[in-house]
Amino acid sequence: MSELQGKNAFVSGGSKGIGAAIALKLAEVGANVAITYSKSETEAARVVQEIEAKGVKGLAIQADAIEAENVIKAVQKTAATLGNIDILVNNAGIVKLKSITESTLEDFDCITNVNVKAVFAATMEAVKSMPSGGRIITIGSVNGDFIPFPGGSLYAMSKAAVQMMTKGWARDLGERQITANIIQPGPIDTDMNPADGEFADRGKAITAIKRYGKPEEVAELAVFLASPRASNITGAAINIDGGFTI
């Protein structure tokens, strides 16, 4: 498959988990892919090696999303190295689970800086030169709509915020034929929430299919939304959660 041949993609937080799966799937269908990472240069280098093994260009940029300026510079470096960004995937994010009785203003600032402000900053910078037919894909969470556990208020707030920003961008950019959609995963088997972790039994019990999803399943949806086949889909919040929210 080469339906994204010659396109340039930027995937924040692309060194592992869902981000890495998306980056590799985009490369598989022909896109050049830049990823950001916050800590592990080794993991990022491995993903770039796998990207380039598919016959496309790969790039890894260290950019901790706690500072929006880091993300802006990463977008600028990608555009300077690969060319204008056709596909922006806002994937980087963090989880903080604390009751309101335990939370601090520092917790609020941290989660909003990474999960909201950095997403806004990357999109603001990328769309300055994004061509017609561009794609903005944000990785949110079903917890932006649904919180079946205590301690999730800050995380849920951040994911609800990016959902509504994404819908607003669909309006802002529609006349340029740029689409903006948000993917909202439920329990997915990653380092952040492993299928054998402390929340696993509870998560599986709530899903209709009684299992965690795989990063590759999220990647398939992301690549579809990035493709010409999804040109009439914008402003959508799409759950991929195994029936977690039904």
- Would you name the residues annotated as active-site residues? 155
Q: At 38, list the tokens.
A: 């916050």
Compute the distance between CA of residue 119 and CA of residue 166 in angstroms, rounded to an integer.
10
Residues 6+ apart with CB under 8 A from 94: 110, 111, 114, 115
CB count, 10 Å around CB of 52? 15
Q: Count of alpha carbons within 13 Å of 60, Cβ hemisphere only?
A: 24
Compute the distance between CA of residue 207 and CA of residue 189 in angstroms, rounded to an integer.
13
CA 8 to chain centre: 16
Strand order of the β-sheet with 237-240 is: 58-62, 32-37, 8-11, 87-90, 135-139, 179-185, 237-240
Residue 73 contacts residue 10 (beta carbons within 8 Å): no
Q: At 70, list the tokens.
A: 């880091």
